[in-house]
Chains A and B, each alone.
Chain A
Amino acid sequence: MKDQLDYMTQSVTSGKMTRREFMGKTAALGISAAVAGSLFTRAVEAAGPVKGGTLKLASIGGGSTDSLDPALAASQVPYHNLNQFGETLVNVTENGTIENRLAESVEASADAKTWTFKIRKGVEFHNGKELTAEDVMRTMERHSNEDSKSGALGIMRGIEGMKVDGDNFIVELGTANADLPYLMADYHLMIQPDGGFDNPAAGVGTGAYMLVADEPGVRHAYKKNPNYWDDTRGHVDEVEIVVINDATARMAALQSGQVQIANRVEPKVAGLLDRAPNLTVHSTAGPGHYVFIMHCDTAPFDNNELRLALKYAINRQEMVDKVLRGYGSVGNDMPINAAYPLFDESIPQREYDPAKAAEHYKKSGHDGSPIILRVSDVAFPGAIDAAQLFQQSANAAGIPLELKREPGDGYWSEVWNAQPFCASYWGGRPVQDQMYSTAYLSTADWNDTRFKREDFDALLLQARGELDEAKRKALYSQMGMLVRDNGGLICPMFNDFIDATSNKVQGWVADPTGDVMSGKWSHKCWLA
């Protein structure tokens, strides 16, 4: 047992094992949680972060059109840029809890309608200005006022009033929302001096790294902020984000040592890459999922029997095995999985059942004309293959599914959220309320399945204001069942984040809330 324990302790020090994994594996050896916890801490402290060096990330999702304006960030490279120079009031941790960053404390009134964020003192922006509650309020204004073009505009909608009281920033909500801190952790809401009104794309924030070179579509270089307020973060001297959209080139850059981290490893090469002696592949289960979506208000998908027929006609396990090569898990026709807090594990898993599919199809009275599924490779990696598998399993059940390949260019404006049946993906949200409010509430902007039910909306609002977690969990479970059995969502699989690092990179944390440790790789990792 000692050998095993030593091995695991080593894995911890070299960053291969997270706290959660360590606790689980030591428990299997019969070690109590308290002892294991202290062992873990000792193993990490013994090694300790090393200061210095240059850490480079090769990232997909960048272009020469990228801006540093937090309001306009939508893909991976802008996301990682924001996380270098900027910080939000609070963060969602890898365990799904809230951690205070620029807010020193967060307090809610008893009715969860008034939220008070006490702003941290002694924090300086990169331009030398001290952070005040006023800056926070101006930032929130820029993302929510009438002229706002922010990607966060949707989540700011519930806010009725904001004010500053000394060091406190106070938010007033129209309806109770127990999850407000999770909304404030949204990556668009990086606090900027004066809210970024004068120069939104200046790249000035309070983060551990300051902008040195900004070459959109090529690279973004940063150096350590000497006045950073948190000594436990930001170990390397320099950080660089290198834009490499081509998957093969990205892996080559990692293998030849030009970068130390690469994101979005393709499932088909992940196994091969992991065998390389100096590399580690990190697979992190998250809330992101690949979907086929039907508009519940458009014929023939306005018939729930037909929707159920299609849901029974898809082979989820086959897709996880063939499209994700095992780097993921099966979906259950609802957008929520175990990555979310308050997930109900007891909801039965829907299986591929051609007999049931045929039965529902017959009941639907569909005329037998081809059902068109629109698909493109940009919907998600392997979308065409997945659609072909779907077509075959559906045809086996006697459902005439036909595929129509759409051009990738313009897919998000012309097909997604416009055509009644197409392939798509969702990145997921930190909490269930946000996921459902974004895409399943009757009035949601991105209700891409046109799922409109009053009973569902009522449950959602009730759960949002419910501070008792057990009751909330029961409400979420009911909502999940409603979507699963009545919705327009066919969710075959949840995809893992697959990243790869050089073994020199230490301090890796499996964080399911966003791409590459949800952007905190430079703040938490170090080079051995």
Chain B
Amino acid sequence: MHPVVKLVSQRLALGLLLLLAASALIFLGTLMLPGDVAQSILGQSATPEALANLREELGLNRPALVRYFDWLFGALQGDLGTALTNGQDIAESIGKRLGNTLFLAFWAAVISVPLAIFLGLLAVRYRDRWPDKLISAVTLASISIPEFLIGYLLIYFVAVQMGWFSSVAMINDSMSLLDKLNAIALPVAVLTLVVLAHMMRMTRAAILNVMQSAYIETAELKGLSTFHVIARHAFPNAIAPIVNVVMLNLAYLVVGVVVIEVVFVYPGMGQYLVDHVAKRDVPVVQACGLIFAAVYILLNMIADIVAILSNPRLRHPK
């Protein structure tokens, strides 16, 4: 068997095991939270009778283990069940939210990844001169400011004062692609600013590391232009660490943007998960948790595979 195929299948099997463990952990975690879904739904207007009736209807009186395995067997057959709080089909409502989250993450990635790598290359090219310092200063500043503050600043100046973009990034099916892109312009800008520094700094450091090697000196002595040396000779050998950090940031764009979603009122997965945790709606929390875990596992696997493929010594082990 080809080593890469073997590695992928090993990783996939391990990933499934991890998912199972994650689902058990999430279930345990929600059990440990104070209160239950019936109490959360009825809130201040809960009477003991109403609580008992609601618990009975939602099947909360069954033992925790029974509920977990019920859910697990359903999930294995592709049935995620219905939300306890409002009875909506989980797969259907998650599908919409996941679509929105991926839409936002996709456009943020399309802009930020090439930009970060290009800025990283540029910083290496003008190392320790003013372009390098400017790029580092700006990106480090933007990663250091809390994302909600950048969001509020953009909303105040760009949406409220100048009226260029909408402050509410609410998208729905009836909008055209152009309308949608216009609506998500501000959150994409904030997300780009947030993830830029990490990827750009890693690109810069990885390439600088490679630039110390003897073959780079050779390339320079051959008389190649500096940018050519960086892009053609140094960059391929720096791909592995860069891809790792890019994947980490992509995972963040999918699972970690709840603050941005709240600030821009974006109907994504983050807010959806938080709402259901607050109401102790366990089946939905489970489903979201699994999706998030799967995203992490998948992206990490891709990073590892790319790292192997980009390195001939790993590609052809002895």
Contact = CB atoms under 8 A, between A and B. Distances in A.
A498 to B, nearest CB: 19
Interface string B32-66: 01110011111111111111011001000000000
18 contacts: A64-B275, A67-B87, A147-B53, A149-B51, A151-B50, A213-B172, A215-B96, A217-B267, A217-B272, A218-B170, A242-B265, A248-B152, A252-B155, A256-B159, A258-B168, A259-B168, A414-B35, A445-B48
Chain A interface residue bracket vs B? 35 or more
B166 A410 contact: no
Interface in B251-276: 262-265, 267, 271-272, 275-276
A150 B262 CA distance: 30
B23 to A, nearest CB: 20
A410 B279 CA distance: 9
Interface in A37-80: 63-69, 72, 74-75
Interface centre among A146, A149, A151, A445 (most CB of B within 10 A): A149
A66 B278 CA distance: 12
Contacts of A414: 34-35
B265 A413 contact: no
Interface centre among A64, A66, A243 (most CB of B within 10 A): A64
Given A219-B170, A244-B265, A252-B156, A64 B272 contact: yes
A143 B86 CA distance: 17
B182 to A, nearest CB: 13
B147 interface: no
B101 interface: no
A149 B263 contact: no
The secondary-structure label for the interface of chain A is loop
B85 interface: yes
Interface of B: 33-35, 38-51, 53-54, 57, 83, 85-88, 93, 96-97, 152, 155-156, 159-160, 163, 166-168, 170, 172, 262-265, 267, 271-272, 275-276, 278-279, 281
Contact of A255 (B33, B38, B45, B160): B160
A74 B44 CA distance: 8
A224 B166 CA distance: 26
Given A148-B50, A258-B168, A410-B34, 10 more contacts: A63-B279, A64-B93, A64-B271, A69-B86, A74-B41, A146-B53, A150-B50, A249-B155, A256-B166, A412-B43
B30 to A, nearest CB: 12
Contacts of A257: 163
A66 to B, nearest CB: 6
B167 A253 contact: yes
A217 B271 contact: yes
Q: What 10 pairs between A and B have smallest CB-CB spacing? A: A413-B35, A410-B34, A67-B86, A151-B45, A65-B85, A63-B275, A149-B54, A252-B167, A218-B267, A64-B275
A81 to B, nearest CB: 12
A69 B88 CA distance: 12
Interface in A230-265: 242-246, 248-249, 252-253, 255-259
B95 to A, nearest CB: 13
A253 B45 contact: no
Interface in A140-189: 146-154
B267 to A, nearest CB: 4
A154 B45 contact: yes
A72 B163 CA distance: 39
